[in-house]
Chains A and B, each alone.
Chain A
Amino acid sequence: MKTVITLNINGDRYEVAVNPWRTLNEVLREDLKLTGTKLGCGTGDCGACTVLVDGKSVSSCLTLAIELEGREITTIEGLAPNSEELHPIQESFINKGAIQCGYCTPGMIMSTAHLLKQNPRPTEAEIRAGLSGNLCRCTGYNKIVDAIKDAAEKMSSSSD
């Protein structure tokens, strides 16, 4: 039986009728066409589906949409401050060449957003640990780590 719920995604309110077995990933991608969030393994191992719920990174493939009424969901589409400019993390990923095929990128960027919120100036080891739940099969990890260092520097110097 479908239940009508209101989801707060990237500051917008969406009213959707969902079956209880629908994951957040399915509702985002299939019902709301917010396809920036990817689906990789579907088992919480690869991190491609990462979004923020109340500011914390979660695997949208293992989250039931029905449980998210009243929670604040942020996807890659909602990270940039407006339609003209990108978020500093997105800029750093572009400038440092941290994107190859791009499939893991939204998840990498959302995990970075969570990491830098918890720890604005992470060491390289902390960056690697913080992103260990996100897989890149183009093996671009070094440039991703460079991009996160760059973003951390920009973001913490702009907030000093």
Chain B
Amino acid sequence: MSLPKFSYLAPDTLEEACRLLAAHQGKIKIKAGGTDLLVRMSARAFKPDYVLALGKVAGLDHITFDPRTGLRLGAMAKLADVVDHPAVREHYPMLARAAKATATVQIRNMGTVMGNICNASPSADNIPTLMVREASVIALAATGEREIPLAEFFLGPGKTALQPTEIATEIRVPVPEAGSGVSYQKISPRSKVDIAAVNVAAFLLLDGERRCRQARLCLGAVGPTPLRAPRTEDFLVGKELRPEVLEEAGELAAGEATPISDVRASKEYRRLMVAILTKRALVEAHNQALHH
């Protein structure tokens, strides 16, 4: 199970990292925590000539919160540090929950939220909550940087909107609006450690009458990418979260999912669980919104 041979590049600056990335396009992989990359390399799924490690670039592991601009997570911010960060726990408790639901203690001490996003697995724990919070990714190249909304970031399993010359440097999450709430729900065959069979995040913004002013859902592991559920979201707007509304939202979301059967679950089970997790997520997001 040893790793294939590669040249190791560990630049001190992002400028140098971008230059190296552009110079070795197609033959290079970016390494943050390495917990997915090295597994795939040892399985020979990837055999890059170069590994570009970001660990020596100063100031990439930041986790900062500003009440005007929101949360910023550097590309090297570790899952364990996100779980424990006071501002994340206070303002974005579901981001902390999702980070804590990722893999094992050891992997959380090594792996990053950005790595989980850039691997673009449809079942990634950290994508749904960030998606419903309308987070974005900063992509840097030698020619400049751009901000990519997470809603446009995932193109397919393992495929993102990042160009081969771009490095994802930061995740930006807007300030939570007053009267809004989020929930993250996950089902996997084992209670801990395992990859999600289905996961769902919900965001609700309530008006003064407790009706849904905005609703956003993200369904994970039931399509080629984490999916938004626009028909369910539209259905929820203007409604109070009564039991019959909840029931119908669950059914609608199940209809928007496009699951397949695999080793973790059958497509029928996944569709049923989308309905259940959507209901659970909406109830919890509603409760969070009432207390925010």
- Interface residues of A, Cβ cutoff 8 Å to B: 1, 19-23, 26, 39, 42-45, 47, 50, 53, 56-59, 61-64, 66-67, 111, 114-115, 128-130, 132-133
Contact = CB atoms under 8 A, between A and B. Distances in A.
A129 B102 CA distance: 12
Given A20-B6, A133-B103, A62 B110 contact: yes
Nearest to B51: A20
B159 interface: no
B8 A129 contact: no
B104 interface: yes
B106 A67 contact: no
A54 to B, nearest CB: 10
A59 B5 contact: no
Contacts of B55: 67
Given A20-B8, A43-B43, 14 more contacts: A19-B5, A21-B3, A23-B38, A42-B1, A44-B107, A50-B106, A57-B105, A57-B109, A59-B110, A62-B38, A62-B107, A114-B105, A114-B109, A132-B105
A111 B108 CA distance: 13
Contacts of A47: 104, 106
Nearest to B6: A21
B80 A132 contact: no
Contacts of B51: 20
A20 to B, nearest CB: 3
Interface in B97-138: 103-107, 109-110
Nearest to A18: B8
A130 B80 CA distance: 12
Contact of A59 (B1, B3, B6, B107): B107
Nearest to A39: B1
Nearest to B8: A20
Most buried by A among B5, B6, B192: B192
Nearest to B55: A67
Nearest to A128: B192
A44 B111 CA distance: 11
Given A58-B110, A62-B35, A64-B8, A23 B3 contact: yes
Contacts of A21: 2-6, 8
A47 to B, nearest CB: 6
Most buried by A among B5, B42, B106: B106
B5 A44 contact: no
Q: Considering the complex of A and B, which 3 residue pairs feature the smallest CB-CB distances, nearest first? A: A133-B104, A20-B8, A42-B1
A67 B1 CA distance: 19
Given A62-B34, A64-B8, A133 B3 contact: no
Nearest to A132: B192
B97 to A, nearest CB: 13
Interface in B67-117: 80, 103-107, 109-110
Interface in B34-60: 34-35, 38-39, 42-43, 51, 53, 55
A64 B228 CA distance: 37
Nearest to B34: A62
Interface in B190-209: 192-193
Nearest to A20: B8
A30 to B, nearest CB: 10
B109 A58 contact: yes
Most buried by A among B3, B4, B35: B3
